[in-house]
């Protein structure tokens, strides 16, 4: 009897040290993508539709924002099916509207950001970051405002706005910016912030990261509750073709910019990707069990890249166990992807692809998956 109690005590001690309460390991999980959930998101009739983002809305439906034909559209999927796409921001003379992102505020408002981009030969038209708001789950839109303005040429523009809501309710709006580098091809990650739910924004952007001689791009931030820090996925070409890196900041305030050799800049993958491969346009999301997801478009080169998704630890590091959500033929593209984790834990993956079109048009498609133990 005494011996049995002693053995039980040892087993309980080992469990407490190595089992119960220990954080989940990304090596133990994979993502199972359900091909029966494959659906087209974008409307019909567009030669190109892409760069889609998804969120759960206040009424429980799914909202999708995407670009098509120089316009920004918002589309809702309810339990009864798809509603018609709604025009949010229309193309202007010599200016296309691009790369939307949106967040759902605590009061249910939808705050959407987008990127006016002048055509290459346009005169006196500026690149910029704008926001617009919906108070009725994306049916109508108002309060369109300019948040940041860059240069007029393609080499001095700004790109890819993305939101982060902080625990105290403040909102940060990140974007890639080369507007301040008028004599080089360099690019930084910049950020403006709002303390009033996006009604007003800070005037002077903070530089979040900058690698001299390179192009930090396509930021996607998340708040890591356990670590009380911000993690931002970016594409970084400081050592060759773009690869995914993660930037880290303790707390909510960015007091110092992250240089190329900073310890706050970390290669995302547990195992290095092939040196000559292209792996850009990352997207970061949090899993329901505390782990993290990272998508990126991976291929021999940008033109051949397709969506890949890896699983990382609770600190948004050591990404591994790559899966491919979309079963695309070789030579087809899967670009400008994103991930959303729903309240029930399901994962929504979005891609811009010509892989399902009989006429080779680029369309937005979605698929759902779930993380399971291997």
With beta carbons less than 8 A apart as the criterion, state whether 266 and 246 touch: yes
Distance CA 173, CA 156 (A): 19
Match 């109690």 to its residue by tokens: 5
DSSP string, 21-86: TPPP-GGGEEEEEEEEEEEE-S-SS-SBEEEEEEEE-TTS-EEEEEEETTEEEEEEEETTEEPPPE
> In terms of DSSP H, where are the helices of 76-224?
none
Q: In what order do the strands lie in the sheet with 292-299?
A: 278-286, 292-299, 306-312, 320-323
Q: pLDDT tens digits, residue range 189-218?
A: 999 999 999 999 999 999 999 999 999 999
With beta carbons less than 8 A apart as the criterion, state whether 227 and 314 touch: yes
Distance CA 242, CA 269 (A): 13
Q: Element (H or E) spanning 299, and its range?
A: strand 292-299
Distance CA 134, CA 104 (A): 10
Distance CA 295, CA 338 (A): 7
The pLDDT, as a whole number, for residue 301 is 96
Q: pLDDT tens digits, residue range 306-355?
A: 999 999 999 999 999 999 999 999 999 999 999 999 999 999 999 999 99
Domain ranges of the chain: 26-373
- Angle CA 262–268–269, to nearest 5: 135
DSSP string, 142-159: EEEEEEEE--SSGGG-EE
Q: Tell me the CATH class for 26-373.
A: mainly beta
The pLDDT, as a whole number, for residue 123 is 83
Q: What residues in the chain have per-residue pLDDT under 50?
A: 1-20
Match 């300019």 to its residue by tokens: 146
């Amino acid at each position: 009897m005494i011996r049995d109690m002693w053995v039980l005590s040892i087993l309980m001690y080992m469990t407490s040290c190595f089992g119960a309460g220990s954080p989940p390991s990304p090596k133990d999980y994979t993502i199972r993508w359900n091909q029966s959930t494959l659906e087209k998101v974008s409307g019909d009739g567009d030669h190109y539709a892409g760069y889609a983002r998804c969120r759960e809305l206040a009424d429980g439906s799914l909202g999708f924002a995407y670009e098509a034909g120089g316009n920004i559209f918002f589309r809702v999927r309810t339990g009864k099916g798809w509603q018609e796409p709604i025009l949010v921001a229309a193309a202007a003379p010599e200016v296309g509207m691009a790369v939307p992102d949106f967040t759902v505020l605590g009061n249910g408002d939808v705050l959407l950001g987008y990127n006016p981009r002048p055509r290459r030969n346009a005169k006196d038209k500026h690149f910029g970051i704008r926001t617009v708001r919906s108070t009725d789950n994306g049916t109508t839109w108002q309060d369109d405002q300019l948040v940041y303005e860059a240069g007029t040429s393609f080499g001095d523009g700004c790109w890819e706005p993305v939101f982060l809501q902080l625990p105290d309710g403040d909102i940060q709006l990140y974007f890639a910016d080369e507007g301040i580098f008028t004599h080089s091809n360099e690019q930084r990650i910049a950020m403006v912030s709002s303390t009033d739910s996006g009604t007003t924004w800070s005037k002077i952007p903070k530089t979040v990261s900058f690698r001299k001689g390179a192009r930090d791009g396509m930021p996607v931030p998340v708040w890591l509750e356990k670590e009380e820090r911000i993690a931002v996925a970016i594409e970084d070409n400081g050592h060759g073709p773009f690869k995914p890196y993660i930037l880290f900041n303790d707390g909510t305030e960015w007091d110092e910019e992250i240089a190329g050799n900073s310890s706050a800049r970390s290669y995302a993958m547990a195992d290095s990707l092939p040196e000559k491969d292209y792996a850009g346009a990352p997207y970061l999301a949090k899993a329901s069990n505390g782990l993290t997801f990272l998508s990126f478009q991976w291929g021999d080169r940008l033109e051949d890249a397709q969506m890949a998704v890896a699983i990382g630890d609770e600190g948004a590091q050591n990404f591994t166990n790559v899966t491919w959500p979309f079963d695309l033929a070789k030579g087809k593209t899967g670009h400008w992807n994103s991930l959303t984790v729903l309240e029930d834990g399901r994962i929504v993956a979005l891609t811009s692809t010509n892989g399902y079109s009989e006429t080779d048009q680029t369309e937005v498609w979605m698929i759902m998956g779930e993380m399971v133990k291997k």
